[in-house]
Amino acid sequence: MSKLFKKRLTTFQIIILGFSALILVGTLLLMLPVSSAGKTVTPFGDAFFTSVSAVCVTGLVVKDTATYWSVFGQTVIILLIQIGGLGVVTSAAALTLISGKKISLMQRSTMSEALTAPDVGGTVRLTLFILKSALIVEAAGALIMMPVFCRDFGPSGVWKAFFHSISAFCNAGFDIMGTPGSEYQSLTAYAQNPVISITLMLLIIVGGLGFLTWDDVRKNGFKIKRYKMQSKVIIVTSVLLIMLPAAFYFFFEFSEGSIKNRLLFSFFQAITPRTAGFNTVSLTAMSGASRALMLALMLVGGSPGSTAGGMKTTTLAVLFANTGAIFRRRNESHFFGRRIDENTIKNASAILILYLSLFLCGAIAISAIEGLPIGDCLFETASAVGTVGLTLGITPSLGTVSRLILIAFMFTGRVGGLTIAYAAFSEPDPNLSKLPKERITVG
């Protein structure tokens, strides 16, 4: 019976069920009295929201992570972040490999979908590479930040270094810097500290580039011409999405102070919206134009097959390439001498419509339910669907319905809108005939 059940499940459904099961386990663990600093049972709604946010590497919270949760609760959260960041399927496969068991063909196919790998071959090797690389990068980040945190917090600085290193690499945005009476402060105390700021920025970038891009870099080093087209597109788009917003923030938002601080503030705020969720400056004090730019960055997110969520950098690049081709009256879009498949362009358009629809409709719904300004609600929904975690401070005060909207957005942003759609409507179309074609004018 179990074998029949497994055969009926598509790889997309397995991915969704894996994330859902992990969220449920995390919720039950966070509800335990040992998980809270006050040794009380955490309400299901608060534990569920926190578990979803951790597994979906978002960072939106209804309880301050540092002051509400105990060390045990924080450990549960960081484990959920680690598994959710690497991917439930990838983490399960890694445990299977470590135990010495063989990976079945069905498991390999699911791993390939989860990693967005082009084919099934080599997924086991890629999984081991991802696991080793992630642990090495996270350990390196923790060791670099440890002297600063130990200087400020004593022995507990070791835990803070590892927690923030994993959270940054997984693009989660959870922090444990809050204190009683000063909760939800993120990393504002280290805004001018180059060691902490630069290390976190590098961890966010590396985690958000994507596992297949890492593999390309490992194989070809600095011989960029040998990279796959996708890796080239990801690198170029990521650089532009960092440099252009950073320049805007440098000249228009942080126009005062020393050059060093302005650079740290500008680059951090350009990098963290995609999709890390840390902040080193007060978001409410930033101008409307700066927050609008953040909205766009949050929706774009990281790269496919990475620890980040959002629409993905490749989606944005494909849409711009297609727009350029249309403007130049060309039939095909291309990158680096390679043609883009027509189905890829269709998928990119569908993803854009999906994310914009969720972003706008969710914000309108929350604004109507809670009576809050639409601008604040747009920021929260963009943060949720982009799995970012940046907030203007309204999430902890939201009602049940509004929280459920954000939960659905976080799950969609991490698992992927198309994955959910394919899981729900993945039956092949039995109708091979085509309807008559007729022109319709657009634009």
Helices (H) and strands (E) in the chain, counts: 19, 2
* Dist CA 426 CA 419 (whole Å): 10
**Is residue 4 very low, low, confident or very high in pLDDT (cuts 50, 70, 90)?**
very low
User: Quick count: other Cβ atoms within 10 Å of Cβ 438?
Assistant: 5
Secondary structure letter of residue 253 according to DSSP: I
Mean pLDDT of 153-177: 94
**Is residue 379 very low, low, confident or very high in pLDDT (cuts 50, 70, 90)?**
very high
pLDDT digits (tens, 9 = 90+) for 13-37: 777 888 899 999 999 999 999 999 9
Alpha-carbon torsion, ordered 367, 369, 372, 376, to 10 deg: -40
Helix 417-424 and helix 400-415: axis angle, to 10°? 90
Q: How far is CA 284 from CA 107, 279, 281, 390, in A?
A: 46, 11, 9, 11
Which of 2-11, 96-105, 112-121, 188-197 shows the lowest per-residue confidence on average (mean pLDDT)? Answer: 2-11
Question: In this predicted structure, what is the pLDDT of residue 297?
Answer: 94
Q: Which residues pair with 36 in a beta bridge?
A: 69
Q: Which residue has the higher pLDDT, 113 or 371?
A: 371
Which of 71-85, 109-123, 303-317 shows the lowest per-residue confidence on average (mean pLDDT)? Answer: 109-123
Long-range CB contacts (within 8 A, 24+) of 214-218: 214/129, 214/130, 214/133, 215/126, 215/129, 218/129
Helix 194-209 and helix 123-153: axis angle, to 10°? 170
pTM assigned to the model = 0.89
Judge whether 378 and 394 are in contact, CB under 8 Å: no
Mean pLDDT of 88-103: 64
Which of 166-170, 307-311, 405-409 shows the lowest per-residue confidence on average (mean pLDDT)? Answer: 307-311
CA 98 centroid distance within chain: 26
